[in-house]
Amino acid sequence: MIDVDGLWLNADDRQLLRQPEVGGLILFARNTESPAQVSELVRSIRALRPDMLIAIDQEGGRVQRLRQGVLRLPALGEIGRRVANQQQAVEVAHAAAWLMATEMLACSIDISFAPVLDLDHGRSAVIGNRSLGSSAETVTTLGGAYIDGLHAAGMAATGKHFPGHGWAEADSHFDLPVDERSEAEIRATDLRPFRDLASKLDGIMPAHVLYPQVDRHPAGFSRRWLQEILRGELGFNGVIFSDDLCMAGAHAAGDMVARVDAALASGCDMLLVCNDRGGAEQALQQAQHRGIAPSQRLVGLLARREPGVVYKADPRWLRAVRLLDSVGLLGEER
């Protein structure tokens, strides 16, 4: 999964997208001006590659790539903080997911990498209010409702960052975070939402975090975490997306060739290589060298695709908007 430079495809983008090893594209803020522009960009991508998986990070709050012409959704952590009644918080989480998914599907975007299932231990600034709560029970309950909202809209759900990024303080965009706790403590806390929701999730994204009491490799490069625990113990059979292999937290595995090999060996189905065109080209060369074939698990994600959703004509749209607005969680529409 790669990225492109701007609001429209250029010649270099088109050449790269034609490579059969490219199975997906992720949109960033620089690629989004308005729903109409995003829809046209996606249309031009699908003209080249109809099978391309189009993704975005549209969590809400500070992580919302498309901001103009769509609802300003709350950070997920604000749901639990502002809505004291648990049943209402569940309804709000479901509505927030449904609204986000319908807006993205209307732009023909397949998935937003959500929900964040990390616990907020008050330590990680990069997670913070992106987390649904500080307890495993809260994150599991609200995360389950959020997943149901995505599915109700026709969008696959991707939980991140397995097995939990909330304790490690460093930001994996710039450093390798380390969670020094025992495996027993991680299992009793941060792992629980992933364990309890594994059967509902379509995708999971592991963290670029090192858990030295469990394995010497960061989670995204660890067969112990991804094959033995996630696949074996938790029974997860969906898509494993690597986090961005260009992030500093991924450099522990070595150069780009080594990162590609390590992520594939650990069991990742799709590798994200973003914001580094040279790195993306190296990753593709290594994939070509190894003769990598697309994972069949990706077919299930594309099967949910429902392009052309006329969401504002659906009475559920108005009910969901009113619900979020009634608890003060809806920003202005732009």
Give the β-pairing of 58-60 and 158-162: unpaired
Predicted local distance difference test score (pLDDT) of residue 296: 67
pLDDT-based confidence at 238, cuts 50/70/90?
very high
Model pTM score: 0.94
Q: Containing H/E element for 279?
A: helix 277-290
Please give the average per-residue pLDDT across 63-69, as a whole number: 94
200 in helix, strand or coil?
coil
163-205 pLDDT tens trace: 999 999 866 677 788 999 999 999 999 999 999 999 999 999 9
Active site residue 51: no
pLDDT-based confidence at 60, cuts 50/70/90?
very high
**Residues in contact with 7: Cβ distance below 8 Å, sequence separation at least 6, in sequence order:** 30, 31, 32, 33, 37, 41
Share of the chain above pLDDT 90, in %: 76
Cα–Cα distance for residue pair 29/203, rounded to 1 Å = 23
4-48 pLDDT tens trace: 999 999 999 999 999 988 999 999 999 999 999 999 999 999 999
Instruction: Transcribe 24-83 into DSSP letters.
Output: EEEE-GGG-S-HHHHHHHHHHHHHH-TT-EEEE-EEETTEES--TTS--PPPHHHHHHH-
Active site residue 173: yes
The domain locations on the chain are 29-40+56-326
Predicted local distance difference test score (pLDDT) of residue 304: 56
Does the structure show a pLDDT above 50 at 285? yes
Instruction: Give the residue with greater pLDDT, 171 vs 123.
Output: 123
Of the residues 173, 251, 276, 314, only one is catalytic, namely 173
Please give the average per-residue pLDDT across 223-252, as a whole number: 92
Residue 160, annotated ligand binder?
Answer: yes
Q: Chain centroid to CA 272: how far?
A: 11
Q: How crowded is residue 272: how many other Cβ atoms within 10 Å of its Cβ?
A: 25
**Residues in contact with 220: Cβ distance below 8 Å, sequence separation at least 6, in sequence order:** 206, 207, 208, 226, 242, 243, 250, 263, 266, 268
**Residues in contact with 61: Cβ distance below 8 Å, sequence separation at least 6, in sequence order:** 73, 74, 75, 76, 77, 78, 129, 130
Of the residues 118, 179, 243, 269, only one is catalytic, namely 243
Please give the average per-residue pLDDT across 289-318, as a whole number: 68
The architecture of the domain spanning 29-40+56-326 is Alpha-Beta Barrel (3.20)
Residue 130, annotated ligand binder?
Answer: yes
